[in-house]
Structure 1
Amino acid sequence: MGIVTQDAIDQFKALMEEVDEPLKRTFQNIHQGYPTETLVRFLKAREGNVMKAHTMLLDCLKWRVDNEIDDILAKPIVPADKYRAIRDSQLIGLSGYSREGLPVFAIGVGLSTFDKASVHYYVQSHIQINEYRDRVILPSATRKYGRHISKCLKVFDMTGLKLSALSQIKLLTIISTIDDLNYPEKSLTYYIVNAPYVFSACWKVVKPLLHERTRTKVQVLSGCGRDDLLKVMDYASLPNFCQKGSGSSRHLENAMENCFSLDHPFHQQLYNYIKEQFSIREPVGPIRQGSVHVGVPDSAVEEMDIAKTLESELQKFDYQHGIHGSLDKLKINHD
Structure 2
Amino acid sequence: MEIVSQEAIKQLLGLMDQVEEPLKRTFQNVHQGCLAETLARFLKAREWNVAKTHKMLVDSLNWRVQNEIDNILAKPIVPSELYRAVRDSQLVGVSGYSKEGLPVFAFGVGLSTFDKASVHYYVQSHIQMNEYRDRVILPSASKKYGRPITTCVKVLDMTGLKLSALSQIKLLTIITTIDDLNYPEKTNAYYIVNVPYVFSACWKVVKPLLQERTRKKVQVLSGCGRDELLKIMDYDSLPHFCRREGSGSGSSRHSFGNCYSLDHPFHQQLYNYIKEQSLICEPVGPVKQGSFHVDVPEAAGKGAEIGKTIQSELHKFGNGNRIHDSLDALKIEDN
Shorter chain as denominator, the TM-score bin is over 0.9
The within-5 A match list for 1:58-97 is: 58-97=58-97
Q: Between Structure 1 and Structure 2, which shows a larger proportion of helix residues?
A: 2
Q: Secondary structure at the match of 2:271?
A: helix
Q: Which runs of 5+ in 1 are unaligned?
A: 326-335
Note the C-alpha offset of 1:297.
2.1
Q: Secondary structure at the match of 1:321?
A: helix
Corresponding residue of 1:139 = 139
The separation in 1 between residues aligned to 2:140 and 2:204, in whole angstroms, is 38
The separation in 1 between residues aligned to 2:271 and 2:252, in whole angstroms, is 19
Corresponding residue of 2:272 = 272
Q: Secondary structure at the match of 2:189?
A: strand
2:253 to 251, 254, 269: 251
Corresponding residue of 1:22 = 22
Note the C-alpha offset of 1:37.
1.2
Larger Rg over CA atoms: 2
Corresponding residue of 2:318 = 318
Q: Which runs of 5+ in 2 are unaligned?
A: 326-335
The separation in 2 between residues aligned to 1:91 and 1:170, in whole angstroms, is 17
Q: Secondary structure at the match of 1:322?
A: helix
The within-5 A match list for 1:230-309 is: 230-245=230-245, 246-254=248-256, 257-309=257-309
The separation in 2 between residues aligned to 1:106 and 1:314, in whole angstroms, is 24
Q: 1:13 and 2:32 equivalent? A: no
Q: Secondary structure at the match of 2:106?
A: strand
Which amino acid letter does the alignment assign opposite residue 258 of structure 2? Answer: N
After the TM superposition, which parts of structure 1 deviate over 4 Å for at least 4 consecutive aligned residues?
1-4
Q: Secondary structure at the match of 2:105?
A: strand
Q: TM (normalized to structure 1)?
A: 0.94
Note the C-alpha offset of 1:114.
0.1
The 1:89–1:2 alpha-carbon spacing in structure 2 relative to 1, beyond 3 Å, is: farther
Q: 1:188 and 2:188 equivalent? A: yes
Q: 1:198 and 2:198 equivalent? A: yes
The separation in 1 between residues aligned to 2:163 and 2:238, in whole angstroms, is 27
Corresponding residue of 2:176 = 176
Q: Map Cα deviations across residues 98-117 of structure 1 (whole Å, 9 max, x no partner).
A: 00000000000000000000
Whether the aligned pair in 1 keeps the contact of 2:166 and 2:311 (CA below 8 Å) is yes
The separation in 2 between residues aligned to 1:5 and 1:140, in whole angstroms, is 27
Note the C-alpha offset of 1:273.
0.1
Identity %: 73
Whether the aligned pair in 2 keeps the contact of 1:157 and 1:241 (CA below 8 Å) is yes
The separation in 1 between residues aligned to 2:324 and 2:181, in whole angstroms, is 37
Note the C-alpha offset of 1:283.
1.1
Note the C-alpha offset of 1:54.
0.4
Whether the aligned pair in 1 keeps the contact of 2:92 and 2:106 (CA below 8 Å) is yes
Which amino acid letter does the alignment assign opposite residue 252 of structure 1? Answer: H
Q: Secondary structure at the match of 2:286?
A: coil
Corresponding residue of 2:106 = 106
Whether the aligned pair in 2 keeps the contact of 1:109 and 1:157 (CA below 8 Å) is yes
Note the C-alpha offset of 1:300.
3.0
Q: Map Cα deviations across residues 242-296 of structure 1 (whole Å, 9 max, x no partner).
A: 0123345443354xx1100000000000000000000111111211101000010
